[in-house]
Amino acid sequence: MPIAVIESLDHEGRGVTHVDGKAVFVEGALPGETVEYAVHRSKPTYEQAEAVRIIKQSAQRVTPRCSLYGVCGGCSMQHLDPVAQAAVKQRVMENAFRHIGKIKPETIHAAIHGPSWAYRYRARISVKMLPGKGGLRIGFHERRSSHIADMRACDVLPKQISALLPRLRELIAGLLRPERVAQIELAVSDTGTAFVFRNLSPMSAADESRLRAFADEAEVQVWLQPGEPDTAYRFHPKDAPSLAYTLPEFDVSMDFRPTDFTQVNVHINRLLIRRAMQLLDPQPGERIADLFCGLGNFSLPIARSGAIVVGVEGSESLVQRALENARSNGLAERTEFHAANLFDTTEDSLAALGRLDKLLIDPPREGAIAVVRALGPQQRPARIVYVSCNPATLARDAAVLVHEKGYALREAGIANMFPQTSHVESVALFERC
């Protein structure tokens, strides 16, 4: 097998080396290490491989905590010290700015850190019956596979949820038609925990009884989802409180449904909002837009500062949730929310939002290219804070802002939202020149 010295890590946490002019991406290898590797995919300009033996080990290498590491696709960086993980992600962001955007932030902030384990308050677990192959499997998908890892515990989930996995397996295996449960969505909140069962057919009376017993015994809410996410409903207990997370620094409480999008890491979410507010610096009387606002995660903290907030989101149901959250937090008079497809943003649709002093953008992985291209004479906010879950699209959109729209990239930094994974969350400040 070939042997090589690893030069760096890529955006997926793979070691990168070059052999005979071809890039080789080696899973499980770290910079500075000498490794023996096996190629599992070969293309004319690159190869994908896996480390099979570490000949010279990095000082930043640690022993993976999970017994499924290397099989389960949920985590890919457990072999790297958590502090070093954040440093790698910071470099991924900086490299994206340099190579894609051809720009450099004036200031790089220290990474935002939080717990390295037991942080994942949201998860979607797949379920699969395998007759003759060990029976039922519940877990995340295996790496590079549609198969499901045989997950008996998970250290990135809260301890009380990880401890319930064997009981959950027992529950599903005991159903009359366990193959009709396709997945389970978990949502842990300050007010309770919900398990959403995606049931492909109605539950029998006996199975409903089993679900109630599980909910009572585990002290959780059981929801059923017979169709699309909006069809999910609380099954038991009927009188359970709404799920909610709090933002104590801004005196805000956010109600949500377990199938709504919310950040998986509540600790980092609070710190990320603090960083975004410091960069945005909202002032009383300013009119600020929050695009891709969701259920108001940034909108309500901005409004708490005294600014007027215009939130725009593609999902009608999330807009309704944002309106309800604004009312329940006493912020209805300082907020307005609209449903619109921001991927179709134009100069006219952006101008229709009225005068905007500042702008916060928090798009999905696809980024906000239509939004930044729509900025023009009618709408040029003095300050833009861009929260991103994809360094490549952030850098692409930053290039438009800097090279075409007359903004400067003042500050940027990452938040380690998903420790043990290669996921990079970042926040950047742009100011009008």
Query: Residue 390, annotated ligand binder?
Result: no
Query: Residue 281, annotated ligand binder?
Result: no
Return the bridge partners of 141, or none: 148
Query: Residue 293, annotated ligand binder?
Result: no
Residue 343 C-beta-side C-alpha neighbours within 13 Å = 7
Query: Residue 313, annotated ligand binder?
Result: yes
> Which of 291, 389, 402, 415 is labelled catalytic?
389
Q: Is residue 259 within 8 Å of residue 229, measured between CB atoms?
A: yes
Q: What length is written for the chain?
A: 433
CA distances from residue 417 to 330, 336, 424 in whole angstroms, order as listed: 29, 28, 7
Q: How many of the other CB atoms lie within 10 Å of CB of 330?
A: 13
Rounded Cα gap, residues 32 and 10, in angstroms:
14
Q: Is residue 399 within 8 Å of residue 103, measured between CB atoms?
A: yes
**Paired tokens of 269:** 């979410």
Rg (CA), the chain: 23
Rounded Cα gap, residues 311 and 35, in angstroms:
50
The per-residue DSSP string of 392-429 comes to HHHHHHHHHHHHTS-EEEEEEEEE-SSTTS---EEEEE
Rounded Cα gap, residues 251 and 73, in angstroms:
37
- Region at 367 (left for phi over 0; alpha for psi -120 to 50; beta for the rest): left
Query: Residue 263, annotated ligand binder?
Result: yes
Query: Residue 214, annotated ligand binder?
Result: no
Query: Residue 239, annotated ligand binder?
Result: no
Q: Is residue 50 within 8 Å of residue 28, measured between CB atoms?
A: yes
Q: Write out 301-343 in H/E/C secondary structure.
A: HHHHCCCEEEEEECCHHHHHHHHHHHHHCCCHHHEEEEECCHH
Query: Residue 292, annotated ligand binder?
Result: yes
Is 389 catalytic? The answer is: yes
Query: Residue 269, annotated ligand binder?
Result: no
Query: Residue 25, annotated ligand binder?
Result: no
Q: How many of the other CB atoms lie within 10 Å of CB of 117?
A: 18
With tokens 């308050």, the residue in question is 121
Question: Active-site residues: which are they?
Answer: 389
Residues annotated in a binding site for S-adenosyl-L-methionine? 263, 292, 297, 313, 341, 362
Residues annotated in a binding site? 66, 72, 75, 154, 263, 292, 297, 313, 341, 362
Residues annotated in a binding site for [4Fe-4S] cluster? 66, 72, 75, 154
